[in-house]
């Protein structure tokens, strides 16, 4: 919060901003981390909190960005604005690399500066008059952006939920997939797989049910596949692997966790041509309009790096880093298993979702921080369905993950 001075304007606060509860989760945790460091200046704090990548980006990728950037200082190499939808070669490479024979056309791929930014642009596209369903727990940008654009009603302290939002509870009891027979119809279904925070990747059968549900109800699925590179088993990596999905789903994805681009910023959204509004107008036309009006294309330097990530050498280098994080995840899963704690995820995602039955997430977060100097994320920050859980990230240097494992083992012997 900024300091309040004597002067104030005559501008009323946006009612939707007024509706938002709590601060955005991750900055709130950063504040607690800083307070902890102040209290224990000599402690070696380990952050398994915010899911930020830690390993260096392979040389092949950074050199391509450096070359591109250097060329901007030459007459021949200088480039200004690019196409708002992204560089043609990159759109093609994304379609080929991530969608292979799934019929995704280059022109259906919109390159972005990251999927979080595209979540908001999609909200702008959808507007405030649509009804929405969200997984519970879910990555907070979905719920918060729905509130900000005006899709929700007021927050209810009794239920810890916003009104007019369909919360699709996902936990071990329902194999982390909502019971669709009791889920109300909504216009939009936000669905993230592999899921942040639970780490669960929906199975083919689950996604077939989801697509059938959307088709029956005339709904649109906004499918977030930001962690698809982490899928180890047979789970689909894209919603378009499910027949019929092209007519009901938008997919957003990212280079952040696949290529360590959390700071570089690059992602994409696929809007299939067959996806239509009730008046039969193609949604891709409107998304194109939003991108041209509210964005202006991703950084050309980031796009040069993205293209190299998708070269065969670049891709192998990216996957090696993903494998490194997956090994970290295994260390964490094994740690919690050895402590007789139920830990989910960590196989198809860089997140481990740990259950502390009967405890409150913030209490577990505080106890772990106080006694081990490890930052986690309280599960309830992802929605009421996350109460009793904490999320632990597998992003970290190996020695840090091993040290965290040792400290956790001593806390819960």
Least Cβ distance, residue 227 to ligand PLP (angstroms): 7
226 lies in the binding site for ligand PLP (CB under 6 A): yes
351 token code pair: 């997140």
Subset of residues 349 to 378 that bind ligand PLP, contact rule: CB under 6 A: none
Which span (101-109, 113-121, 144-152, 177-185) binds ligand PLP, by CB under 6 A?
113-121
d(CA 189, CA 191): 6
DSSP secondary structure of 142-209: HHHHHHHHT-S--EETTTTEETTEEEEE-SGGGTTS--GGGPPP-SEEEEESS-TTT-PPPPHHHHHH
Q: Which of 58, 236, 267, 346 binds ligand PLP (CB under 6 A)?
A: 267
Say if CB 200 and CB 166 are below 8 A apart: no
- β partners of residue 46: 374
Q: Is 262 in the site for ligand PLP (CB under 6 A)?
A: yes
Q: Return d(Cα 258, Cα 114) in angstroms, integer.
A: 12
List the structure tokens of 308.
């190299």
Q: Does 224 engage in binding with ligand PLP (CB under 6 A)? A: yes
Binder of ligand PLP out of 49, 114, 350, 388 (CB under 6 A): 114
Interface map 6-45 toward ligand PLP (x if CB under 6 A): ----------------------------------------
98, 110, 139, 191: residue in contact with ligand PLP (rule CB under 6 A): 139
- Which residue number, 121 or 246, has a Cβ lying nearer to ligand PLP? 121
Of 174, 408, 125, 150, nearest to 293 by C-alpha is 125
Distance between alpha carbon 153 and the CA centroid of its chain, in Å? 24
Q: What mask of x and - would describe binding to ligand PLP in positions 57 to 86, judged by CB under 6 A?
A: ------------------------------
- Contact flag: residue 132 with ligand PLP (CB under 6 A): no
Compute the least distance from the CB of residue 196 to ligand PLP, in Å.
Answer: 4
Q: Of residues 116, 308, 335, 393, which one binds ligand PLP by CB under 6 A?
A: 116
* Among 145, 146, 256, 328, contact with ligand PLP (rule: CB under 6 A): 256
Select from 64, 87, 135, 196 the one that contacts ligand PLP (CB under 6 A).
Answer: 196
Between 193 and 372, CB nearer to ligand PLP: 193
Three-class DSSP category at 64: helix
**Which lies closer to ligand PLP via its Cβ, residue 26 or residue 412?**
26
Asked if 51 interacts with ligand PLP (CB under 6 A), we say yes
Q: Between residues 272 and 350, which has the closer beta carbon with respect to ligand PLP? A: 350
Q: Does 53 bind ligand PLP (CB under 6 A)?
A: no
Place of tokens 């997984």: 135
Distance CA 169, CA 184 (A): 12
Among 53, 85, 115, 228, binds ligand PLP (CB under 6 A): 115
- Give the H/E segment covering residue 413: none
Residue nearer to ligand PLP on the CB measure, 255 or 372: 255
Could you tell me the CA-to-CA distances from 318 to 55, 187, 325 in Å, in that order? 11, 36, 11
- Read off the tokens for 89: 């070669």
Backbone phi, psi, residue 166, to 5°: -90, 115
Pairing of strands 165-169, 374-375: unpaired
Q: Which stretch binds ligand PLP (CB under 6 A): 114-122, 168-176, 289-297, 336-344?
A: 114-122
Q: Give the DSSP letter of residue 3.
A: P
Spatial distance between the Cα atoms of 257 and 318, rounded to a whole number of angstroms = 10
Residue 404's closest CA among 347, 328, 349, 313?
328
Among 109-117, 178-186, 305-313, 328-336, which window interacts with ligand PLP (CB under 6 A)? 109-117
User: Which residues form the interface with ligand PLP (CB under 6 A)?
Assistant: 51, 114-116, 139, 192, 196, 224, 226, 254, 256, 262, 267
């Amino acid at each position: 919060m900024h300091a309040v001075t004597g002067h104030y304007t005559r501008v009323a606060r946006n009612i939707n901003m007024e509706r938002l509860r709590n601060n955005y989760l991750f900055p709130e945790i950063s504040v607690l981390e800083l307070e902890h460091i102040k209290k224990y200046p000599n402690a070696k704090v380990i952050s398994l909190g915010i899911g930020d990548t830690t390993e260096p980006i392979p040389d092949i990728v950074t050199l391509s960005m450096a070359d591109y950037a250097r060329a901007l200082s030459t007459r021949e190499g200088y480039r200004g604005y690019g196409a708002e939808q992204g560089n043609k070669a990159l759109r093609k490479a994304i379609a080929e690399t991530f969608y292979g024979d799934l019929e995704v056309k280059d022109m259906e791929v919109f390159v972005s500066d990251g999927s979080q930014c595209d979540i908001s642009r999609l909200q702008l596209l959808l507007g405030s008059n649509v009804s929405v369903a969200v997984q519970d727990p879910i990555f907070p940008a979905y719920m918060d952006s729905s509130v900000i654009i005006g899709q929700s009603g007021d927050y209810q302290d009794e239920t810890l939920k916003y009104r007019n939002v369909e919360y699709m509870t996902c936990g071990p009891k329902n194999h982390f997939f909502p019971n669709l027979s009791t889920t109300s119809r909504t216009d939009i279904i936000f669905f993230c797989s592999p899921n942040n925070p639970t780490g669960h990747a929906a199975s083919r059968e689950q996604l077939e049910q989801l697509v059938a549900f959307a088709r029956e109800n005339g709904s649109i699925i906004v499918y977030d596949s930001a962690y698809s590179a982490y899928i180890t088993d047979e789970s689909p990596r894209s919603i378009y692997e499910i027949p019929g999905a092209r007519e009901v789903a938008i997919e957003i994805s990212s280079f952040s966790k696949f290529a360590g681009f959390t700071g570089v910023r690059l992602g994409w959204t696929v809007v299939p041509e067959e996806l239509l509004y009730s008046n039969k107008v193609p949604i891709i036309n409107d998304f194109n309009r939003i991108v041209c009006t509210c964005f202006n294309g991703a950084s050309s330097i980031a796009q040069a790096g993205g293209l190299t990530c998708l070269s065969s050498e670049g891709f192998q280098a990216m996957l090696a880093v993903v494998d490194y994080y997956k090994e970290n995840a295994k260390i964490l899963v094994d740690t919690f298993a050895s402590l007789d704690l139920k830990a989910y995820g960590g196989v198809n995602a860089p997140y481990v979702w740990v259950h502390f039955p009967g405890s409150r997430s913030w209490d577990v977060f505080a106890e772990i921080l106080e006694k081990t100097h490890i930052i986690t994320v309280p599960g309830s920050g992802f929605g009421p369905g996350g109460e009793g859980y904490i999320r632990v990230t597998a992003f970290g240097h190996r020695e840090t993950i091993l040290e965290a494992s040792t400290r956790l083992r001593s806390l819960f012997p």
